[in-house]
Amino acid sequence: EDQVTQSPEALRLQEGESSSLNCSYTVSGLRGLFWYRQDPGKGPEFLFTLYSAGEEKEKERLKATLTKKESFLHITAPKPEDSATYLCAVQALDQGAQKLVFGQGTRLTINP
């Protein structure tokens, strides 16, 4: 069974304090790994898709990386507006319906 585990469950940082969020996964064969940001009471907002080990993608203060077992979302010099829940999801190669399996998320709080 495909599984996604995110850590930590919650993270509180000071503005400007860089850190990383972890997403560990087990999947029969990886079709893609996805990062989303979700604000309270809203739907997830797409951030990145990673397809193969060694791949990296960047957007503003965020950088996502991928290995064969895990992905990291690095946040550099965060601002209060980066506060949100960050969700990681995987899609398996054998999922003809392109189903996503989500982790529990990391609740990130950036204090000014």
> Would you say 76 or 85 has its CB closer to another protein?
85
Q: Using CB atoms within 10 Å of the CB of residue 73, give its burial: 0 to 12 exposed, 13 to 18 middle, 19+ buried.
A: buried
* Other CB atoms within 10 A of residue 10 CB: 11
Q: Which of 21, 44, 66, 86 is the binder for another protein (CB under 8 A)?
A: 44
Q: Contact between 91 and another protein (CB under 8 A)?
A: yes
5 within 8 A of 103, measured Cβ to Cβ: yes
For residue 100, the minimal CB distance to another protein (Å) is 6
Residue 30 CB partners (closer than 8 Å, separation 6+): 51, 90, 91, 92, 93
The pairing of strands 106-111 and 10-14 is parallel
Binding mask 47-76 for another protein (x = CB under 8 A): --x---------------------------
| Euclidean distance between CA atoms 73 and 64, whole angstroms | 5
For residue 34, the minimal CB distance to another protein (Å) is 7
> Would you say 15 or 39 has its CB closer to another protein?
39
Q: Contact between 98 and another protein (CB under 8 A)?
A: yes
| Site residues (vs another protein, CB under 8 A) | 31-32, 34, 36, 41-46, 49, 87, 91, 97-100, 102-105
